Structure 1
Amino acid sequence: MSEQFDQRKAQAAAWFGALRDDIVAAFEALEDSQQTGPLALRPPGRFEVSETRRRAGDGSDAGGGVMSVMRGGRVFEKVGVNVSTVHGELGKPARAAMAARKDFPGMERDPRFWASGISLVAHMQNPHTPAVHLNTRMFWTPHGWWFGGGTDLNPCLPYDEDTAAFHATLKMHCDRHDPDYYPRFKAWADEYFFVPHRGRARGVGGIFFDDHDTGDWEADFAFVQDVGRAFLPAFLPLVERRRDLAWTEADRAAQIAHRGLYAEYNLIYDRGIKFGLATGHDIEAIMMSMPPLASWP
């Protein structure tokens, strides 16, 4: 079983890396194709790529990944696409939380873990073009494994047709695996991406799932791959539709105010950021999702 999961870990990590490559190429192609508007006069944006490392408590190497960030582009004001594969031992608070979530009492005896995934957040130049988030991951312990993640749309100026198109693409990819997935994971996203202290959602939703283990690793991995494959066809048409619309100073003010809501959610509630901070991952990679500018009342 251990050898089998070593192969599965390698498969999952390779997939997240390949998805990252496809998204980076597509986003740079968008930058090249932006030929109108005042920002078209600047050079097309390109990703700056750097290696990230995680160190265990004793200073030993515990994995890492690649951080790719584009700033000040024609289409993207800031976008990050990170992949990582880390391993080590969970600290006591994380062990207790994991045991409670997954009914893994063995975590106290053997707290080893391995995790790999992709994380993306895009903040756009044009306020009419929605911000977006994507994350998928595989998590393994000696006591069990699961997949998690999701994607959600975060427009500051929502368009009903954009929301409908985004959700329709997600539903189509979910339905290939189980007709119950989309309604269940949409409802989960509506709950997870809610900002309690503001009494509102951070965007117009998407899908979210965690602890996903049906007992069939191949089927679950195929589903996670399709979540990744759904991202570009769900998001790129919205960018194409909105990126040339004229915007006002009021539109820009609404955009950076909405980013304040996004920042509050990420810092207070986001499970991925909490896990990264608790396990000592690269701080710049963890905070990659934060917007370049934000405002509060």
Structure 2
Amino acid sequence: MDFTERKARASAWFSELRDRIVARFEALEDAGPGAGAPGRFEVTPTTRKGPEGEDHGGGKMSVMRGGRVFEKVGVNISTVWGTLAPRAQAAMAARGVPGMAEDPRFWASGISLVAHMQNPHTPAVHMNTRMFWTPGAWWFGGGADLNPCLEYAEDTAHFHDTLRAACEAHDAGYYPRFKAWADEYFFVPHRGRARGVGGIFYDDLNTGDWEADFAFTRAVGEAFLPAFVPVTERRLGTPASEADREAQLIHRGLYAEYNLVYDRGTKFGLETGHNADAVLMSLPPLARWP
């Protein structure tokens, strides 16, 4: 099957979603509290080079720092291709990707977002969706999870309810399955705790119906702003103490530990030679350890 047109559609949609999220976050900055100038994204092209320096794709790294609402937020997109390094190829083969042991070629496209907030009462958040192709297989993956340092039950409920509705519109079994997957995936073993209050996570999604799986992945991306923005707007004016800031910085340390030690996307990005700054944009601007 020729996937040229499908790859182009997926890549274009991730780019469109990025544009909408960036515009909405800058609008939040315009309405945010504080006397300083509202934050704006700095956009940097990223590239992936092959072993001989040839072009193997790239994308955009969009990062806002020091805003009224966002202390640091990154919204990255990329479309890359090439040949997997031996270690990454072996990992894919071990996951049972058909033909990967014999043919290490790949193509991948997606959007990745991490936001670290100014107000400790406003939770950090992560979201990504992606499509992966090899000569022997294709699949979608992604999800979103909320990471408050000071949890509010109504915020957690709103975030999960929005994701649940997006999942149930496609398959009644998706939300419980992907919520449980997120609870397992976003767990920090050496700390014995989750990094946040969860959300959904899925990978290797291939039901045999590309259109249906792409539609579900779009639904996950579309659900992000309705899940996160109302929570953010609800907490923007909440007064924060020095103790609240301390709790935020310590929680960010937990987030950094997870992303550097366990996160599958971080490992894949670094092992496949993508721009290191783009791969590591998820790290918080400041963190503290007890």
- Structure 2 length as normaliser, TM-score? 0.99
1:102 Cα shift? 2.9
Distance 2:100 2:226 in 1: 39
Distance 2:251 2:78 in 1: 28
For 1:1-297, list aligned pairs within 5 A: 1-2=1-2, 5-34=3-32, 36=33, 40-104=34-98, 106-297=99-290
Distance 2:58 2:166 in 1: 30
8 Å contact kept, 1:102–1:211? no
- Structure 1 length as normaliser, TM-score? 0.97
Q: Deviations over 1:213-233 (max 9, x none)?
A: 000000000000000000000
Q: Deviations over 1:94-125 (max 9, x none)?
A: 11111121342x22322110000000000000
Distance 2:286 2:248 in 1: 9
Of 147-156 and 91-100, the range deviating more from structure 2? 91-100
* 1:71/1:103 CA distance change after superposition, 3 Å: closer
- The letter of the residue matching 1:264 is E
Q: Deviations over 1:178-227 (max 9, x none)?
A: 00000000000000000000000000000000000000000000000000
- What secondary structure, in the 3-state scheme, does the structure 1 residue paired with 2:170 have? coil
Q: Which runs of 5+ in 1 are unaligned?
A: none
8 Å contact kept, 2:187–2:194? yes
Distance 1:79 1:148 in 2: 21
Runs of 4+ off more than 6 Å: none
Distance 1:252 1:176 in 2: 39
Distance 2:96 2:128 in 1: 20
- The letter of the residue matching 1:23 is I
- The letter of the residue matching 1:49 is V
Identity %: 72
8 Å contact kept, 2:97–2:136? no
1:58 Cα shift? 2.2
- The letter of the residue matching 2:10 is A
- The letter of the residue matching 2:62 is S
Q: Which runs of 5+ in 2 are unaligned?
A: none
Distance 1:294 1:182 in 2: 32
Of 49-58 and 270-279, the range deviating more from structure 2? 49-58
Distance 1:13 1:133 in 2: 20
